Structure 1
Amino acid sequence: MLAEVGYLISALGYCLFLLLLFTTRNNGLPKKLLILGVSANLFAAAFYAANQWFPTVLNVALLLESIKSLIWLVFIASCLKGDQQSLLNILRIPLNLVIISIPLIALVVAVLPISNPENLLKWQYLLHTLMSLEMLILLETFYRQADQERWAYKPLVLALGGIALFDFVLFSEASMLNQIDPMLWEARGYIFAALLPFLVVAIRRIKHWGIDIFVSRDVVLHSSLLVVAGLYLFIMALAGYAIKLVGGNWSNVIQVVFVFLSLTLLAALFLSNQFRTKVKVFITKHFFANQFDYREEWLSLTQKLENSEESITDFYQTATISLMDAINCNSGMLIKFRDNNMQCLAQLEHDDLSQIDIELLNQVLPFIKQSQWIVDIEQLRSKPFEYEGLKVNHALLNGCSFQLILPVFQKDQLWGLVLIQDKDGKRLSLNWELRDYLKVVTAQVASYLFQHEASKELAENAQFAAFSRMSAFVLHDLKNVLAQIDLILSNAEQHKNNPEFIDDTFETLQHTKSRMEKMLRQLTDKKDSNHEHLRPCIISALVQDIVDQRCQTLNPVPEINIVKDQQLILDSDKLGNVLYHLINNAQQATDDQGKISITLDCDDTQKTAIIVIADNGCGMTDDFIQNRLFKPFDTTKGNAGMGIGAYDAKNYIEKMGGRIDVSSDVGKGSSFTLYIPTQ
């Protein structure tokens, strides 16, 4: 009798509420479905209240509950799409079809002509449990999307949510015990009647039925957590029922302990910020489109870096400006660490670092080096637990002049920092996606910085290399001049009274002076043209002069064989140096009793002068010829050689359009063949 009274009170309340609904001016599909839902509740309550005179058949009661759930789920779906005016349009939405699929299945099961329907009772209870859970999820989504209308919709959500929560407990227990708890069923009518005033308040507050739903990340997070919680509680309830069946005399105690521990674990997980963050990141990564099109952003940033190079000569400033533009900020600073000191390389509308800034950075640096994390000052101030292991003086956070700290790493070593502050007062929401985007942007800018630093260092090294190369050539020429002076001094004591020797000495000194002047002119006048030194030169005369003037101090003295002579227009001094180097190398590689020959010929068909310098000295291996002979600064003479003679000879001949061919046998000798174009 107690249950019938409760349902009777509930029926009377719904009857009055239905009359009140007809007095409201709100029209549209949600109001019609609300009237239909209230009518279904009224009919069901009246049907249960008549149980005293007409006993209720369980299968009919479950059928009524399925119809009620179907109507209320469609009602909430219509509110989630406030612009829909037709029930057909609501049902065309795939998500709504999924929503109403469970109550439709429950309806079919309830009307199936089965001889022994008790076998399906557990499954029917389970379907009603799922419908209640579905109702709670939709209401939670609906309330979160109401935004400014939350105040108006709150009573409606409380009323329907209270009913759904009570039904969830009722049917979840029934699915485990395969019967409805009589005590809960008796209280159900009173619960429905107690929640009815919330519906009355709701229809007075709500001026516009329906909201435009937008499935945000937070909504999906909370809905997912609610689903997980429902499934978890359902599984734990099954486990508790199993404990009750097999626990014997201790079943009640064990069941209470188990339920307490289960709820404690659930609360610990839901209160864990780390757990919630991981779930949110997982949902956002796998179920939502990215906030940034990384391909477009990458191309845009690359284009900005390239375009800025044309107008800004300081590549540090270019990198800072491009990074600020990529994240729509207007103030920043680029800092590099050198010998444990911070050096500001670029500033964009940012003041110099204060003592507070420097002290804060010194406290944050160990954490950044270890974790390689981007640090958000505001987040660090309000949620310090996000930065586990980072301990800073919070007074410094309130006085610092930047908002974000972006680390720049080079091969896992902290290269520098980018400090960002938006002077317009906008605050970046530093979620996982923005962190990833900032890492991508920082990596691109860092690559640009490292490339330019490497290019700058390479250019400086190239200048030093050019200077070293020039010095080597100068020393090489000075060595040749020294050889001529040494020849004069070695014969001075014997021929100092010979007038011809005196004349040759002055001629040699004049030639040496000319070579020194030419060398100094090449060093000081970079615009000196090689064409100014071109003049007609007879090859045989040039070779004879080299042998007579510069190759007499070493044995064996070369023999000259003239097959066909040729006159060329070239720099005789330069060619003379090339020939002298090759002849001198042959003399050093050949015993005093050996033989060196210089053969001069000309190929008229190819219009090429041919000079062959051959010896029967020690020879060279093929590997040496291929890999070392013409390699600059590689010498076999120790400190006595510079290692540039052969390189210089090959380089000069090839600049003239000719070539040098080398053939050699170890222990038998070598042959250098110079092909020089006659035109």
Structure 2
Amino acid sequence: MGSLLYNISSVAFAISALILILFFRHHPAKFILSFSFVITALWALFASYGISRLGHYAELLRNISWIFILFYLLNPVRNWRGRDSLFWQVVLVALILFGGLFLLDIYHHQIGFGLGPDEINFSIWCYQYLLLSIFGLVLIEQLIRNSDASQLWAVKFFCIAIGAQFSYDIFLYSTALLVSGLDLLYWQARAIFTTLLIPLFFVSLKRIVHEPSKVIISRKIVFHGVALIGIGVYMLLMALIGYYIQFLGGQWSGLIQIVFFAFAVLLVSVIIFSGQMRAKLKVFLSKHFFDYKYDYREEWLRFIASLSGNKFESGLENRVIEAVAKIIDSTGGVIWLKNENERYQYAGGHNHCVLADLEEESYIEFVKQGGWVVDIDEYKNEPHNFPQLLLPQWLVDDEDLRLLVPLFHQNALFGVLALNRPRAERKFNWEDHDLLKTVGCQAAGYLALMMLSQELHESRQFEAFNRLSAYVVHDLKNVVSQLSLVIKNAEKYKNNPDFVDDAFLTVDNATKRMNRMLLQLRKDRSMVMTTNRDCIDLIECLTAVCRARQDSRPFPVLINKHSSTPCVFADGERLEIVLAHLVQNAQEATPESGKVELILQIESDKAVISVSDSGCGMAQEYMRSRLFKPFETTKGNAGMGIGAYEAKEYIHSIGGTLTVASTLGEGTVFKISVPVVRDDS
């Protein structure tokens, strides 16, 4: 049965190769795929006779041909140029391992191990198949990971078909190693499974209409790919050693094998999570696989992401140290930043602490002139390279620090970054220095922006304090005016009981205002403005305002155009202050022969209070752009410029509006509209 199935598979692949040659004459992948089909047809033919040395070599050639197709899809052969290609390195490693197993296969009679020749042949063959299958899956992973959407659409069925073959081989031969023999059912099903993959090749072949695109492999992918291959090879070697322990260990073989595998898994876990081993692997790959040490796109994206990340609890200084240190696999460092005294002050450290400031004038001048990155080891071992440089002795004696990186912002030295030694020892050249200087400039820009933000925040705090002080001074000015008026009239009316009563009322009112100002200093002003509301009789409020402003000319006149007495929800004292301020402004803008009126009327459910005068009026531009802005005044040093602003803010806080209309030379009307209290309220 198995022989028939493999013969059918052989015929199917032979026909497929013929179809490729006849009907895909101009396809770029015609020859390489037809060659693989022919090799696969030969393999199926030899496999129909069972396991043999000839069938073994045919299967090896089949696997190698599929791997060659994966290389073709990853990068055209004509573009491989020695050490520029990652794949030559990988192929070399694979050939060495495969060659070792091949030599072991040929000379098994001389090696022995106390086992029969057939058993040794079978085990070695299984390891060869597993090695090639794992290598093929790694290449498929690289192809999928590095293809864009259009490329993946074209080659994905190639990847599925070849990957399915290799995966089935891994399942088949790993199971065979565990049970020391091939399962006949799995072996027969393999022929059917392989034959059913042929349509997938033709689907991909129809999609590939152009020469396969070059796929650029990043250093990150190289690192993970080589690590994956290394782990796979390591596990194969451990499995091979464990296999022979089983036969050499006698009655203790089972225990020794378990301990060995446990130790092998522990060792590979330690290697995977070792930062030093990862750093050494990166250095090795950079030296032998690439012309340049760094993948600049990856480094730049990672650097910007680190500076713009969410680790706000660590501070920007520490994020800068960490981001720059990662470039050379350093563990951390320290940073000095220029303060307001033009001194370079210690600003933070990551995995390092130096409390001293950087005050060495020689180094500062040296860096300002050339912008050099200083290698401290080179400075100590080859001082003739730095004839004009003198580093602080405490810095030279610090064995943990290795590099000094200048941070320039707008062509000025903004700070200095000292980096710890990298995890894996390495030499630094012009490429390292250029990259560190570039990222240093970017980091300096971030740090300068941070300092500007802090200064802006501080200036806003001072602005808020000054604004609060202006409000307090404004209220104090009104209190002082009231008390001054009492003192001014005291000599004339001190024996008048009514004057004495009014004086006490004025002092009481001044005390309340002072207490209110103290409350404003302790709490948010907006909270004070919107608390202590009550139902206020507008007639009484307006009458009190007119009485308070009777000492100034022209006298304010109250006109009530509504028969009833409207009430509003407000702080009575605050509302009086607002109205009194508007009346005062009207009096100051109107000659004594003019008029100032307070007009009360009801429009729908709103009480409308108009403060009108026949004074000088205001320009439209001033009303539009400056009237209600704080600290804008036309009174010079006599005014604070917050009266109109405060009036509008308070009226808005009780649900009302404040509008103004004015004509130069004719007068001004301030109109306040606030909701009235309904009878059912």
TM-score normalized by the length of structure 2 = 0.53
What is the CA-CA distance between 1:368 and the residue it aligns to? Answer: 2.2
What SS does the corresponding residue of 2:541 show, helix, strand or coil? helix
1:157-176 matches, cutoff 5 A:
none
Aligned to 2:428: 429
Cα gap change, 1:96 to 1:410, in 2 (>3 Å): closer
1:137-286 counterparts in 2 under 5 A?
Answer: none
The match for 1:352 among 341, 350, 354 is: 354
Amino acid at match of 1:392: L
The answer on 1:603 being equivalent to 2:603 is yes
Distance verdict in 2 for CA 1:437–1:659, change over 3 Å = farther
SS of equivalent residue, structure 2 residue 592: coil
Read off the aligned partner of 2:335 and give its amino acid letter. Answer: L
Cα-Cα RMSD: 4.3
After TM superposition, give the deviation of residue 525 of structure 1 in Å.
Answer: 4.9
Q: Does 1:407 align with 2:409?
A: no
What letter is aligned with 1:293? E
User: Structure 1 residue 366: deviation in Å?
Assistant: 2.2
Kept after mapping to 2: 8 A contact 1:629/1:646: yes
How many Å apart are 1:486 and its aligned residue? 2.3
C-alpha displacement at 1:522, in angstroms? Answer: 2.9
Using the alignment, how far apart are the partners of 2:632 and 2:593 within structure 1? 28
* Deviation for aligned residue 1:592: 0.8
8 Å Cα contact 2:362-2:391 kept in structure 1: no
Counterpart residue number, 1:497: 495
> Quick one: distance in 1 between partners of 2:396 and 2:480?
75
Change (3 A) 1:445 1:619: same
Distance 1:508 1:620 in 2: 33
Q: Tell me the amino acid that sits aligned with residue 446 of structure 1.
A: A
Q: Give the residue type in structure 2 aligned to 1:471.
A: S
Secondary structure of the residue that 1:403 maps to in structure 2? strand
Q: Which residue of 2 aligns with 1:619?
A: 617
Aligned length: 412
Mapped contact 1:292–1:437 kept (Cα < 8 A): no
Alignment of 1:295-306 (within 5 A): 296-298=301-303, 300-302=305-307, 305-306=309-310
The aligned residue for residue 580 of structure 2 is 580
Aligned residue in 2 for 1:655: 653
CA distance in 1, matches of 2:451, 2:627: 35
Residues 49-64 of structure 1 mapped to structure 2, 5 A cutoff: none
Q: Unpaired runs of 5+ in structure 2?
A: 1-62, 94-215, 218-289
* CA–CA distance in structure 1, aligned partners of residues 485 and 647 of structure 2: 23
Verify the 8 A CA contact 1:601 1:610 in the aligned structure 2. yes
Tell me the equivalent position of 2:295. 290
User: What's the CA shift string for 1:566-587, capped at 9, x where partnerless?
Assistant: 2011111111111111111111
Is 1:664 aligned with 2:667? no
> 1:522 & 1:663 partners in 2: Cα distance?
32
Write the letter of the residue equivalent to 2:571.
D
Give ranges in structure 1 of 5+ residues lacking alignment.
1-82, 100-136, 150-214, 217-282
1:590 aligned partner: 590
Judging changes above 3 Å, is the alpha-carbon distance between structure 1 residues 427 and 485 closer, same or farther for their aligned structure 2 residues? same
Question: What corresponds to 1:342 in structure 2?
Answer: 344
Aligned to 1:184: none
- Residue in 2 aligned with 1:442? 440
- Are the structure 2 counterparts of residues 509 and 400 from structure 1 closer, same or farther at C-alpha, using a change threshold of 3 Å? closer
Change (3 A) 1:449 1:557: same
User: Amino acid of the residue matched to residue 364 of structure 1?
Assistant: Y
CA offsets 1:391-450 (integer angstroms, 9 cap, x no match): 336997965653222222233221111111226453363443x44543454345334433
Letter of the structure 1 residue corresponding to residue 492 of structure 2: Q
How far apart, in 2, do the equivalents of 1:395 and 1:570 lie? Answer: 69
Q: Distance in 2 between matches of 1:646 and 1:140?
A: 75
Question: Match of 1:255?
Answer: none
- Deviation at 1:318? 4.2
| SS of residue matched to 2:617 | coil
- AA partner of residue 337 (structure 1): K
Amino acid at match of 1:561: I
What do residues 454-473 of structure 1 show as CA deviations (whole Å, max 9, x unaligned)?
Answer: 23222222222222111111
Deviation at 1:630, TM superposition (A): 1.5
Aligned to 1:24: none
Give, in whole Å, the separation in 1 of the partners of 2:558 and 2:83: 109
CA displacement 1:109-158 (0-9 Å, x = unmatched): xxxxxxxxxxxxxxxxxxxxxxxxxxxx99999xx999x99xxxxxxxxx
Distance in 1 (alpha carbons) for counterparts of 2:488 and 2:559: 29
Quick one: distance in 2 between partners of 1:559 and 1:446? 66
Aligned to 1:392: 389
Task: State the Cα distance separating 1:300 from its structure 2 match.
Answer: 3.2
Q: Does 1:469 align with 2:467?
A: yes
- Aligned mates of 2:470, 2:554 — CA distance in 1: 28
Q: Determine helix, strand or coil for the equivalent of 1:293.
A: helix
Q: Residues 513 and 358 of structure 1: is their aligned pair in 2 closer, same or farther, counting only changes over 3 Å?
A: closer
Structure 1 pair 675–428 and aligned structure 2 pair: CA distance change class (3 A): farther
After TM superposition, the score normalised by the length of structure 1 is 0.53
Contact in 2 for aligned 1:332/1:348 (Cα 8 Å)? yes
Distance across 2 between alignment mates of 1:529 and 1:592: 36
Q: Does 1:365 align with 2:364?
A: yes
SS in 2 for 1:488: helix
Contact 1:408/1:418 (<8 A) preserved: yes
Describe the shift of the 1:296–1:319 C-alpha distance in structure 2 as closer, same or farther (beyond 3 A): closer
Deviates more, 1:289-298 or 1:497-506: 289-298
Query: Which residue of structure 2 aligns with residue 28 of structure 1?
Result: none
CA shift for structure 1 position 493? 2.6
Change (3 A) 1:448 1:677: farther
CA shift, 1:335, in A, is 0.4
**For the Cα contact (< 8 Å) 2:529–2:650, is it kept in 1?**
no
Letter in 2 for 1:429: F
Shift, 1:384, TM fit: 8.5
Contact 1:367 1:390 in 2 (8 A): no
Provide the rounded CA distance (Å) in 2 between the counterparts of 1:543 and 1:351. Answer: 69
Q: Which has the greater radius of gyration?
A: 1
Is 1:420 aligned with 2:410? no
Specify the SS of the correspondent of 1:630.
coil
**Residue in 2 aligned with 1:569?**
569
Structure 1 CA distance, aligned partners of 2:342 and 2:89?
Answer: 51
Distance in structure 2 (CA, Å) of the matches to 1:138 and 1:534 = 86
Q: Name the residue aligned to 1:553.
A: 551
**Are 1:326 and 1:441, in contact at CA under 8 Å, matched by a contact in 2?**
no
- For the residue of structure 1 that corresponds to 2:330, the secondary structure is coil
Task: Work out the percentage of aligned pairs sharing the same amino acid.
Answer: 30
Q: Secondary structure of the residue that 2:671 maps to in structure 1?
A: strand
User: Are residues 567 and 391 of structure 1, via their aligned partners in 2, closer, same or farther at CA, if it must alter by over 3 Å?
Assistant: same
Query: Is the partner of 1:509 in helix, strand or coil?
Result: helix
Contact 1:381/1:394 (<8 A) preserved: no
In structure 1, the partner of 2:479 is 481
Asked if the contact 1:301–1:326 (Cα under 8 Å) also holds between the matched residues in 2, the reply is: no
Match of 1:46 in 2: none
For 1:459 and 1:140, the matched residues in 2 are separated by 52
Which residue number in structure 1 is paired with residue 251 of structure 2?
none
AA aligned to 1:412 is: N
Give SS of 2:591's match. coil
The question of whether the paired residues in 1 share the 8 Å contact of 2:550 and 2:556 is answered with no
Q: What is the distance in 1 between the residues matched to 2:490 and 2:429? A: 88
Counterpart-to-counterpart distance in 1, 2:474 and 2:318 = 45
Change (3 A) 1:590 1:423: same
Partner of 1:50: none
Is the CA contact (8 Å cut-off) linking 1:329 and 1:420 kept in structure 2?
Answer: yes
Alignment pair present for 1:330 and 2:331? yes
Alpha-carbon distance, 1:289 to partner: 8.7
Quickly say closer, same or farther: Cα 1:499–1:667, change in 2 above 3 A: same
